[in-house]
Structure 1
């Protein structure tokens, strides 16, 4: 993780106070938001692609994503 990607002490405290279910829900929302953003980027870059091509590419990208 890059130094500027570190959570602030305030963010860490908020995360510590969350229940496991709340943390899971936040992670779940973040994951699907990232997928929507990637799809929007691909649509902008490849305006000739069908929705199926966009979705297949997003699926492939996230399937092989690494942290």
Structure 2
């Protein structure tokens, strides 16, 4: 779009749309991870998964 000299505002809207789509995928993946992998590891007695999860959430919130 930049090479085609598209209006900057239009490019910014595209970037915003892409970020929103990626956030949606990330939220869904996090939900699935919590409901499966994290629950399973906690049920197995692995509480280290909580620290791992907190680190992951902190990275997502940057």
Structure 1: any 5+ residue segments left out of the alignment?
Answer: 1-14, 50-56
Q: Does the alignment pair 1:21 with 2:9?
A: yes
Residue 26 (structure 2) aligns with: 38
Q: For this pair of structures, how many residues does the alignment match?
A: 41
Per-residue Cα deviation, 1:19-45 (whole angstroms, up to 9, x for no partner): 101110000111111111100001111
TM-score (normalizing by structure 2): 0.53
Per-residue Cα deviation, 1:9-65 (whole angstroms, up to 9, x for no partner): xxxxxx12221011100001111111111000011111279xxxxxxx3x75141xx
Quote the RMSD (CA, aligned, Å): 2.3
Equivalents in 2 of 1:19, 1:47: separation in Å? Answer: 43
TM-score (normalizing by structure 1): 0.50
Runs of 4+ in 1 over 4 A off after TM superposition: none
Residue 60 (structure 2) aligns with: 61
Q: Which has the higher contact order (CA 8 A, sep 6+)?
A: 1
Q: Does the alignment pair 1:47 with 2:26?
A: no
